[in-house]
Amino acid sequence: MPRPSQDQDQLLLAAGARLYPALGCAGLSVRRVAEAAGVNPAMVHYHFGSKDGFLRTLLQHHYEDMFSALSLTSQRDSDVMERLAAALLGMARFVREHRPLIGRVWADAQAGEAVAQDFLRANAPRHLGVLMALLQEAQAQGRLPVQPPLTRFAFLMGSVVAPLVLAGGLQAIGAVPSPMQAVLDEQLLSDAALQRRIDWALLGLASGV
């Protein structure tokens, strides 16, 4: 019996990434994913064991790309503030590119979906730990004043990431007037806008005010 194509798992993951933000854990069926991928539904079980196994792989696949880049950035042999800024930019870009998926994960977790809850429990501490370690290193070098760690982290996320989530929510419900769309993209979502907010946020932290 010929071995199923090794590309089918990637086709299924790509189809799942397109469907999951709209359907969530409850609405994403094995058959629907297989139809979107153009493969036999049995291939979901062949490659992933179960629907839950497929969902876990789907979410982890997206996260690992971001976390690998974040880890490499944090370990560079460069100024700690430059590494911190680069790490924040990488995380912000990930949120910008995957806002629908991230929003669905949060919604599913709040709805009690075990796959989403397990994913957040396993992974949220990982990128939190990288950023907290960079902040502590900057503090130890005298680049940042002594501040409560979680307060400092919340300030950074509120300054850099929260506007992306807000903009995504407004776009999702069609609440952004057409004339404002280009302004929103330029002033909230562009790389230049992200870098500007990061610079401001780090200056604010460094000031200690």
- Residues 103, 73 share a domain: yes
- Residues 148, 95 share a domain: yes
- Residues 187, 85 share a domain: yes
- Residues 107, 77 share a domain: yes
- Residues 166, 93 share a domain: yes
- Residues near 156 by Cβ (< 8 Å), separated by ≥ 6? 88, 131, 201, 205
**One-character DSSP codes across 68-132:** HHHHHHHTSSS-HHHHHHHHHHHHHHHHHHTHHHHHHHHHHHHTT-HHHHHHHHHHHHHHHHHHH
Sign of CA dihedral 36, 42, 46, 51: positive
The pLDDT value recorded for residue 83 is 95
156-182 average pLDDT score: 84
- Residues 68, 15 share a domain: no
- Residues 110, 26 share a domain: no
- Residues 66, 44 share a domain: no
Which is more confident, 1 or 4? 4
User: Both tokens of residue 107?
Assistant: 């919604």
The percent of residues in the chain predicted with pLDDT above 90, rounded, is 76
Q: 5 falls in which pLDDT band (50, 70, 90)?
A: low
Residue 54 is assigned to a structural domain of this protein: no
- CB-count burial class (<10 Å; 0-12, 13-18, 19+) for 92: buried
- Domain with 136, as residue range(s), is 60-207
> What is the CATH classification number for the domain harbouring 11?
1.10.10.60
Lowest mean pLDDT, pick from 41-55, 59-73, 95-109, 170-184: 170-184
- Residues near 169 by Cβ (< 8 Å), separated by ≥ 6? 103
Could you give the angle at which helices 51-74 and 30-37 cross, rounded to 10 degrees?
70
The pLDDT value recorded for residue 2 is 44
3-class state of residue 13 by DSSP: helix
d(CA 201, CA 42): 49
d(CA 64, CA 79): 25
3-state secondary structure 143-201: CCCCCCHHHHHHHHHHHHCHHHHHHHHHHHCCCCCHHHHHHHHHHHHCHHHHHHHHHHH
